[in-house]
Amino acid sequence: MRSLLLVLATGCASGTTQAPSGACKEPLQFGNIVLTEVFAAGTSGGPVWFEIYNAADRPVDLAGLTLGHSRIDGSAPMSHAMPPLAIAPGQYLTLGNMAAPYVDYVYGSGLGDLDSPDGGTLSLHCGATEIDTATYDLIKPGHSRELGNAKPPDALFNDDPANWCESDASEIVAGNFGTPGQDNDCTPALVGQCNNGIALRDAVVPQVGDLVITEIMANPSKVSAAVGQWFEIKVLRDVDLNSLAIGRAGSVPDVIASPDCIHVTAGSYVVFARTQDAAMNGGVPPGFVLGTFSFALAGELELAVGATVLDAVSWTRSTSGRSLQLDPSLTDPIANDLEANFCDSTMAYGAGDFGSPGAQNATCTSQPSPGMCDDAGTMRAIAKPVAGKLVITEVMPNPAGDETKREWFEITNIGTTPFDLNELGRDRDNDTRAPDVIHAASCKRLAPGAFALFARSTDPVVNAMLPAVDATFGFTMVNSGGNVEVLDGTTVLDRVTWTTTADGISRQLAPAHMTTTDNDVLASFCAGTTPFGDGTNAGTPKAANAPCP
């Protein structure tokens, strides 16, 4: 609990005359006073505030101490000089822009708005002498940023953003968390580590294929979307969700920044919602919501760790009061790329909307039986490629730009009858991933002489403006000494290899060598020369190859 030695005056909001700027009553030195907490944005119209700590071995009168605030780039600087106000050694003082029971001193409008988009910098000076400076970012409304409690407050320790963490344990007022005037209650984890309740350990970082988005409630009817939206993830491998980012492509995501290990186990379901309050979110079962998110579910959702996208889904329809659920037989991060593999939920929950948050989805009745596909409303057996008729005819292992979004390869049907792409696997031989299998309800027919394109992304904005992509894959194509293969179950239908690849240039099979045996020979391939899409790469994706010299 805080125990201030003496409060001699309040700030300008009370009409008290301030000490002259730049003249401290006491000869304070660097580190005597330490910035320890910043609450830059509330959720209920209350004060914004920051906290300081007396690290000196004596009571200190703050008269003349200059409080400073600016944006991180140094722009919009503002300052405020303190009147006589004492603080005991080892104690905290909370300074805010308006009065509140937990604010010890009101500085009014003297420091401007703490909630700038990129954060800000707070400083304490006696004339030209710096007493302490700290930069804050990662502002989350309703949560303070605290200097971690791993050691006593220190003016050098608070210079490193990694030593700060988000307060989420102590609620000051409804929806607002922090520890004004008290010891801080969060412990930042080291990069790549988390606290398992006993000791720090290395976090198990999710990889592509470990997490699958399986259900989305974008349009609740019993409560507003602002509080009733939620989505569900199925976990396919034991991982920690620390550092998982959730959001929409191209927007600033919400990131799980907990110092504690957020461990989830294979086979479990995880729900994220706009609020954890079951009375507000439409009755998502208590305890099922692992965390909250701040953005609106509006047609797309993405999971990532750093720059690596783990899974992404998009949708164009949403029935009021019913979630979109992935058929449970299609639970993988490739199958959920297809909106046709989702259907409206028929299971009621909570206040009466339909969905199965935190539980396995019901089978979509529109899904065909195993080995079947929907051919324009008629269910029929999937037509498998005849051996030797599916040929890999072009590969782009080394595109210019972001390879994780721009890699692709192409196949051709050289037979006289069509076959389906359904259930075909794409893989790199001898890697550690399972093949990416094309799960689709509708028949994905490839006519004789036609081409199919497999790529890392279906989004033309990021994949260099490729033509329509037939299916995506998650493995990495290796630039040198690589290979790619297409499988029917465990049977390899075709495989090609390469030794080296030029940046931004495809390797295309000569039209005179369109067979599964000729494409085993490196000399049957040559460099693509035709610019495509946005013009940054050369090749003929999903089109006839040019003759090789």
19 — pLDDT class (breaks 50, 70, 90):
very low
**% pLDDT > 70, the chain:** 95
Tell me, yes or no, whether 545 lies in a domain: no
514-527 mean pLDDT: 97
Q: Which two tokens stand for residue 536?
A: 């940054």
**Neighbour order of strands in the sheet with 525-527:** 471-472, 451-455, 408-413, 390-396, 507-509, 525-527
Q: Is the residue at 262 inside a domain?
A: yes
| pLDDT tens per residue across span 413-433 | 999 999 999 999 999 998 888
In a domain, 383, yes or no: no
pLDDT of residue 16: 34
**Is there a single domain that holds both residue 180 and residue 270?**
no
CA distance 85 to 103: 13
**Using one digit for the tens of pLDDT, what is the confidence trace for 114-135?**
887 678 999 999 999 999 999 9
Predicted pLDDT at 259: 75
Question: Is position 311 within any domain?
Answer: yes
Q: Are 418 and 520 in the same domain? A: yes
Residue 17 pLDDT more than 70?
Answer: no
Which of the four pLDDT bands, split at 50, 70 and 90, describes residue 141? Answer: confident
Residues 410, 532: one domain? yes
Lookup: tokens for 51: 């906290």
Mean pLDDT in residue range 404-415: 96
Q: Does residue 33 sit within a domain?
A: yes
164 shares its domain with 233? no
Q: Give, in degrees to the nearest 5, the angle at Cα 445 between 440 and 449.
A: 145
Q: Which residues contact 302 (CB under 8 A, 6 or more apart)?
A: 246, 247, 248, 249, 253, 309, 311, 312
The three-class DSSP label of residue 172 is strand
Backbone angles phi, psi at 81, to 5 degrees: -95, 135
Assigned domain for 372 exists: no
Where do we find the tokens 């959702």? 301
263-290 average pLDDT score: 93
158: nearest Cα among 134, 138, 179, 182: 134
Q: Are residues 231 and 172 in the same domain?
A: no
> Has residue 529 got a pLDDT over 90?
yes
Give the pLDDT confidence score for residue 28 in this predicted structure: 93
Tens digit of pLDDT for each residue in 427-454? 999 888 889 888 877 899 999 999 999 9
Please give the average per-residue pLDDT across 486-496, as a whole number: 96
Instruction: Verify that 416 and 305 share a domain, yes or no.
Output: no
* Residue 219: inside a domain: yes
Summarised one tens digit per residue, pLDDT across range 300-353 is 999 999 888 999 999 988 888 999 999 998 898 888 988 888 999 999 999 999
CATH of the domain at 92: 2.60.40.1260
Looking at residue 190, what is its pLDDT? 61
DSSP string computed for 128-156: TEEEEEEEE---BTTB-EEE-TTSS--TT
Residue 3's contacts (CB-CB under 8 Å, 6 or more residues apart) are: 88, 91
* Claim to verify: residue 336 and residue 289 sit in the same structural domain: yes
Model confidence at 164, pLDDT cuts 50, 70, 90, reads: confident
377 occurs within a structural domain:
no
289 vs 308: CA distance, rounded Å? 24
- When divided into structural domains, the chain yields a total of 3
- Report whether pLDDT(13) > 50: no
* CATH number reported for the structural domain that contains residue 449 in this entry: 2.60.40
Q: Are 141 and 41 in contact (CB under 8 A)?
A: yes
pLDDT over threshold 50, residue 89: yes
Quickly state the pLDDT bin for 525 (edges 50, 70, 90).
very high
C-beta separation of 473 from 454 below 8 A = yes
Do residues 311 and 452 share a domain? no
- What is the model's pLDDT at position 446? 97
* Domain that residue 181 falls in: 12-188
Q: What pLDDT is recorded for position 10? A: 33
| 247 & 340 share domain | yes
3-state secondary structure of 157: helix
**Pair 230, 262 in one domain:** yes
Question: Which residue bears the tokens 């179950």?
Answer: 489
SS3 state of residue 494: strand
Q: What is the pLDDT of residues 60-82, one digit of tens each?
A: 999 999 999 999 888 889 999 99
How far is Cα 419 from Cα 389, in angstroms, rounded to an integer? 9
- Same domain? For 106 and 23 the reply is yes
Q: Which residues lie across from 254 on neighbouring strands? A: 246
Q: What average pLDDT does the structure give for the chain? A: 89
Mean pLDDT value of segment 509-528: 97
- Say yes or no: 183 and 215 in one domain: no
At which of 173, 188, 203 does a domain end? 188
d(CA 439, CA 436): 9
Which of 366, 382, 402 is at the close of a domain?
Answer: 366
Quote the percentage of the chain above a pLDDT of 90. Answer: 64
Q: What is the pLDDT of residues 165-207, one digit of tens each?
A: 888 778 888 888 999 999 988 777 566 778 887 777 889 999 8
pLDDT digits (tens, 9 = 90+) for 294-310: 999 988 999 999 888 99
Tell which of 366, 401, 433 closes a domain: 366
